[in-house]
Structure 1
Amino acid sequence: MTNLDRRSLLKGGAAVTAGAAIAGGPLAGFLAGPAVAGAGRGPRNLLRDVPDLRDGVVRLALPEGFQYRSFQQSRRPPTPPNVVLDDGSYLPGRHDGMAAFDGPGRRLVTLVRNHEENGSALGGSFGAARTPTYDTSALGGTSTVHVTHRGEVEFSYASLSGTQMNCSGGRMPWGSWITCEETVNGYDVADDFTRGTAAPPTTYVQNARLQKNHGFIFEVPVRGGATATPITHAGRFPHESVAWDPRGGALYLSEDNFAFPSGFYKYVPPKHPRRAGRLLDGGRLYMLKIVGTENADLAVHMADGTRFRVEWVEIDEPSFDFGRPAPGSAPSRTNDEALQFVSGQGLARGAAKFSRLEGTVYDRGWIYFTSTQGGVAPGPTQPDTVAGFGRGWGQIWGYHPGSKTLHMLFESPSQDVLDFPDNVTTSARGTLVVCEDGANFNFLRGLTRRGELFDIAQNKIDTQLNDEFAGSTFSPDGRTLFVNIQSTVGLSLAIWGPWDRIDV
């Protein structure tokens, strides 16, 4: 399908509905009413194939005037001939969430990047000896890279190792990346659904190999000094991403609990991180509830602009350890039971149910987050062709902590309009940049404050047509958009061009 065909489909997409806007807020454009319904959903920002400045291979389609360079391509497992980082470690694959910070010197940007590796192996993780390591039998973690605005790598190293399924996370304004484990694997629970599917056999997920329990968040300071110590009171559940609200002083967390209802959480630390110098453990964890509705199902179809009043229910036991089984014995709990341990506490108190919450980002008083399979296109023809909890093609939500209101901003009416939104970031002008995690050559999409949805980039790697975009993040000066393509062959890309011309 051409870009023009995709744009023509958007003309019949879900309309922006009236009401529910808060005066002066960034949602005013999204929810301003019929005057902007469908605005800009025509054939604009047509994309063209553009060769990679690294080697001339076409990997992306971009608007006129844009260029890019890929860097640090890596295969699985993390062994030769993979990239060797400057600390001597091998770069893992499955590049995922990422954040950009001011680098050393004006010409460099520092990226902290996740690697969503889910394997286990006796004897060690990918990191070098100097890397802070949580569990020597887990293969995930983060890498840090100093790179120019044009994607030229200057220096890189493993910044955290020994974690699992580092999916996304969040950039903290005090100079840290919070990385999230999207799993509850550990010695105390049975193997997860990926058991026996990896290759070679040494990287199968075998929880009996693990030295620690997983499913936590970790802080990785951009200037080094990660402690490899989990923030256990922020919960043990399949974390996806986090966003910090500097006004309210809470960390908002999304859950991607694939086969079960997911929750939206907030963690209130015992001391403000700017005073403590870091995010402290020992705080309180809460789960979102819709006022007046027990267990509101927010994965169903609803009109754009639907608004809810919100309250929060506390999670009494945010972390858990079922104990290491006796030698030769199986764990007492299944992985599915562990996946629902934390959310089950919130649901018992009436918390709301979402479908697969993924990317989160804070912008101008709002927390934006995506629901990858939320929403169901109305009508009897909606096929039940997707696995997991939720049958839709995706929703984009906005939460306003000041008024404690939740807004459904955009629901995709079909796979052709928006296909499984995942990681998300915002541009300087407030446009949401959304990574697709669907099929058939995924897109980077833009959603403006006026409710316009448009293309920014398309994955054109023909051997990786189902591979997701991930980790979208702008350089601090807004000149370069860095993004990953996650796959067996993972890679990062720097994209630059006339952002103002395409409303980003």
Structure 2
Amino acid sequence: MKRRNFLRAAVIGAGVTAFGNTLTPGAMAAPAQNGPSPYGALRAADANGIRLPAGFTSRVVARSGQQVAGYAWHSAPDGGAVFADGDGWIYVSNSEVNPGGGASALRFDANATITDAYRVLSGTRQNCAGGAMPWGRWLSCEEVDRGFVYETDPWGGAAVQRPAMGRFTHEAAAADPVRQVIYLTEDVPNGCFYRFVPTAWGDLAAGTLQVLVAGSATSGSFTWGTVPDPGGSPTVTRDQVSGAKRFNGGEGLHYANDTAWFTTKGDNRVWQVNLADDTFELAYDDSLVTNGSAPLTGVDNVTGSSSGDLFVAEDGGNMEICIITPDDIVAPFLRVSGQSASEITGPAFTPAGDRLYFSSQRGTTGSSSGGITYEVTGPFRR
């Protein structure tokens, strides 16, 4: 793959963690391979059951059904994002239950003390992933047939349904402020990769839904085809455009510097969409690891750090968050012990890049009512 042109953290717009350029593109290279982590080996599990590199610590910030700042944290925590809030920040997290769903938020002050917790979306279905918008909103996506995207306010204002963004089995979303579009993944075995082109940037009430069109190969060039009926009835959106590229279970999605990375759980791949030249390729494929056992399986949510590392959460696998470095090395960053019936969800960094939030969706119980949301603090590369 093309060596990734990664980004340093910055805060833009209304306070979403975003990124700016640090590295320059390099030569073509193979998909990422097993190698030593820049953070070193994982230590024994701490009191929270988290195995971390030296210098890192974890704490539990919320548990499903238990009170946090006077609010009962939701079940099955899933996709999440961090928004700057003055000297503090807000972590927004989806709830992947049906019915009920929705999303909640934790507010932190400058000392990382939780000062508030509250609902930002209610009455929806199976809210899985989503994406942070540069204008300070969280898109919460329904992972159900003909599901909706909801634009929510991390500060607790009213949420708005956005049907123009298409009705399908939504997973993740990511904003591209350069092209002023939103990318979207679809979590079905023959799903597609979409972009929504708003009529006006920052206003998702109207626009055009398009789908990536390419051949069946794992790399090559692509075009965008307009979906005639974003409502997806009677013909589902993925079947409306001839030649639409199929992806096996689209999951997490991250945009930075003319590139979108997304995962597909059906084949344990991380895809790289190069938007400057309209090409796509594999950033990682567990079947193409040639030097030992594949360290990353069950790919799911994904985020990027200020140093340029991708952090990919596992649904199953070894219950790890693995990193893929700018040098195309993949290695475990952390492992959750004693929770094999769960999955890791919602990884997101604070604006300063020194704290990582994530959840174990079903915790130690294996039930959606047993979710645990964590914070990891330490010397992240910046």
Which residue number corresponds to residue 92 of structure 2? 112
Backbone CA RMSD of aligned residues: 2.6
Query: Which runs of structure 2 are paired with 1:25-424 in the superposition (5 Å)?
Result: 28=25, 32-33=28-29, 38=33, 40-41=35-36, 45-51=40-46, 57-75=47-65, 82-83=66-67, 86=70, 90-104=72-86, 106=87, 108-119=88-99, 139-148=100-109, 152-184=113-145, 215-227=147-159, 229-257=160-188, 260-273=189-202, 279-290=203-214, 293=215, 296=216, 307-320=219-232, 341-346=236-241, 349-374=242-267, 394-413=268-287, 416-424=294-302
Task: Say whether the 8 Å CA contact 2:181–2:195 is kept in structure 1.
Answer: yes
Task: Say whether the 8 Å CA contact 1:363–1:430 is kept in structure 2.
Answer: no
Distance 1:249 1:215, change over 3 A: same
Q: Tell me the distance in 2 between the aligned counterparts of 1:226 and 1:163.
A: 14
Q: Tell me the distance in 1 between the aligned counterparts of 2:101 and 2:295.
A: 33
For residues 196-226 of structure 1, give each alpha carbon's deviation from its aligned partner in whole angstroms, at most 9, with x where no partner exists. Answer: xxxxxxxxxxxxxxxxxx6011111223323
Task: Say whether the 8 Å CA contact 1:480–1:496 is kept in structure 2.
Answer: yes
Q: Tell me the distance in 2 between the aligned counterparts of 1:167 and 1:499.
A: 27
Structure with more of its chain in strand, by fraction: 2
Q: Tell me the distance in 1 between the aligned counterparts of 2:110 and 2:358.
A: 12
Q: Tell me the distance in 2 between the aligned counterparts of 1:455 and 1:407.
A: 23
Structure 1 residues not aligned, in runs of 5+: 1-16, 52-56, 76-81, 120-138, 185-213, 274-278, 323-339, 375-393
How many Å apart are 1:28 and its aligned residue? 3.7
Q: The residue matched to 1:233 in structure 2 has which SS?
A: helix
For residues 139-158 of structure 1, give each alpha carbon's deviation from its aligned partner in whole angstroms, at most 9, with x where no partner exists. Answer: 01010111257764211101
Counterpart check, 1:433 vs 2:301: no
Give the structure-1-normalised TM-score.
0.66
How many Å apart are 1:397 and its aligned residue? 1.1
Distance 1:468 1:232, change over 3 A: same
Structure 2 residues not aligned, in runs of 5+: 7-20
Q: Tell me the distance in 1 between the aligned counterparts of 2:126 and 2:229.
A: 23
Task: Say whether the 8 Å CA contact 1:443–1:455 is kept in structure 2.
Answer: yes
**Higher Cα Rg, which structure:** 1
Q: The residue matched to 1:270 in structure 2 has which SS?
A: strand
Q: Tell me the distance in 1 between the aligned counterparts of 2:228 and 2:85.
A: 40
Task: Say whether the 8 Å CA contact 1:151–1:494 is kept in structure 2.
Answer: no
The alignment-based identity, stated in percent, is: 29
Q: The residue matched to 2:168 in structure 1 has which SS?
A: coil
Q: Tell me the distance in 2 between the aligned counterparts of 1:42 and 1:250.
A: 34
For residues 240-282 of structure 1, give each alpha carbon's deviation from its aligned partner in whole angstroms, at most 9, with x where no partner exists. Answer: 000111100110000001xx30100000111111xxxxx3222
Distance 1:491 1:401, change over 3 A: same
How many Å apart are 1:320 and its aligned residue? 4.7
Give the structure-2-normalised TM-score.
0.86
Matched length: 357
Which residue number corresponds to residue 470 of structure 1? 345
Q: Tell me the distance in 1 between the aligned counterparts of 2:356 and 2:153.
A: 21
Distance 1:102 1:256, change over 3 A: same
Of 279-288 and 420-429, deviating more is 279-288
How many Å apart are 1:173 and its aligned residue? 1.2
